[in-house]
Amino acid sequence: GTHGKTTTTAMLLWILEQAGFDPGYLVGGVPLDFAVSARLGGSDFFVIEADEYDSAFFDKRSKFIHYRPRTLILNNLEYDHADIFDNVEAIERQFHHLVRTVPSGGLLIRPALDAHLDRVLEMGSWTPVQNTSVASEVPYSTDWRGGGGR
Residues catalogued as catalytic: 5-6, 49
Using DSSP, how many helices (H) and how many strands (E) does the chain show? 3, 8
Residues 74, 109: contact at Cβ < 8 Å? yes
Which among 144, 95, 143 is positioned nearest to 115, based on CA atoms? 95
How is 4-72 classified by DSSP, letter by letter? -HHHHHHHHHHHHHHTT---EEE-SS--TTSSSSEE--SSS-EEE---SSEEETTEEEEGGGG---SEE
Q: How far apart are CA 146 and CA 112, in angstroms?
A: 23
